[in-house]
Structure 1
């Protein structure tokens, strides 16, 4: 099995919304660290569980961050699940390429007439 493409994996979670949430959290925490000279933290957690007896896993992804403020800190966490396939290319949203042809020309149910 090939290693999972990390950027594709992150972008697949929650239809790309998770990647946007991580980007926003990183920016907000970094801004708070610079503005208040205090420590901030962004934590990503992934838990994987097989779905039935299939080659799919439910990826539970959690974003947890602590943003420093003037008089304390602001904390937020969010957790959602995304089903992914375990393939020869690592974890993927689709088991096969959804843009592939369903049939090869020689397997088509209706053979084209030659003119």
Structure 2
């Protein structure tokens, strides 16, 4: 069974947090336009995934497209960037690779400690 990705953390990691900030800005602009002009607005978030080589990493293209109602029509804006992410156990997506247990215990380490 897949391990769920932490959605809030995932969004904050896309483009170093800039994408989450852009979403917040767009949400406010669309909502304000809807209330100010009594018309509908729209915000679309698109995430496209592609594998990076044969690794357990994916490139996530994140696109934000929105339309703000105005007095005489609409104003639209879109932005698109991509962020490489790691896919861990069960499909969990994170910015950094999963930590794995050490290969050797302290007693099995091939280097003897200084005395």
Q: Normalised by the size of structure 2, how large is the TM-score? A: 0.86
Classify 1:103/1:40 alpha carbon distance in 2 versus 1 (closer, same or farther; 3 Å). Answer: same
Who is 1:14 aligned against? 15
Distance 2:114 2:66 in 1: 60
- 1:1-115 to structure 2, matched below 5 A, reads 1-88=2-89, 90-97=92-99, 106=106, 107=109, 109=111, 111=113, 113=115
Distance 2:32 2:110 in 1: 58
Classify 1:74/1:108 alpha carbon distance in 2 versus 1 (closer, same or farther; 3 Å). Answer: farther
Distance 1:37 1:57 in 2: 41
Q: Name structure 1 gaps, 5 residues minimum.
A: none
Classify 1:27/1:110 alpha carbon distance in 2 versus 1 (closer, same or farther; 3 Å). Answer: farther
Q: Name structure 2 gaps, 5 residues minimum.
A: none
RMSD of aligned C-alpha atoms?
Answer: 2.2
SS in 2 for 1:96: coil
